[in-house]
Structure 1
């Protein structure tokens, strides 16, 4: 995906394996924002981590247990969560699904792994 591309075509962009049971597809970005689809298999865990980016996430499908700064919440399709910069957070997939993550600014570390 080129950051200068105005349109994203899902069948023209690859999925990248992140860890066991988790893959992501970068759907668009510029210097200020990045959108990423993250696909989870049942039981997959997005381990506890933090980063300097603001993150807003939409549950496209599935069921997840999200922990942010020690607070747990079960989320289903249509729910959202917001992570402020540097807060520790994790995702446990209860039923296979997809999260749509938006980061500000873009996650340069995601681009450097390609």
Structure 2
């Protein structure tokens, strides 16, 4: 029920991204993703609904054909199956929630 910062296990996604799964059950998963400037969350889609809070930094966020620059304190929401991605413009951190949980994240 509780996870302290020093207990988080970070997975290196690539040279610019690291992800920690901070909690989940069958219906909900929360992750934290650290981005270096220039890091890219490539365009993709999935069955999950997703909400992301920008805890730090600045990102160009694309959902379908719309792009917007968002910064610390901003939030974006992605409905199931919508194409989306981000480019990190200033070193940043996203706190993301997925419903249902991301089984693919657990397989790694």
Match of 1:20 in 2: 15
TM superposition score normalised by structure 2: 0.98
| Structure 1 gaps, min length 5 | 1-5
Q: 2:71 aligns with which of 68, 73, 76?
A: 76
Match of 2:44 in 1: 49
TM superposition score normalised by structure 1: 0.93
Whole-angstrom distance in 1 between the partners of 2:95 and 2:17: 13
CA positional deviation for 1:39: 0.3
CA positional deviation for 1:70: 1.0
Count residues in correspondence. 108
CA positional deviation for 1:12: 1.0
CA positional deviation for 1:72: 0.2
Whole-angstrom distance in 2 between the partners of 1:16 and 1:109: 13
| Structure 2 gaps, min length 5 | none
CA RMSD of aligned residues (A): 0.6
Q: 1:87 aligns with which of 58, 82, 91?
A: 82
Whole-angstrom distance in 2 between the partners of 1:87 and 1:100: 19
CA positional deviation for 1:19: 2.1
Whole-angstrom distance in 1 between the partners of 2:11 and 2:38: 19
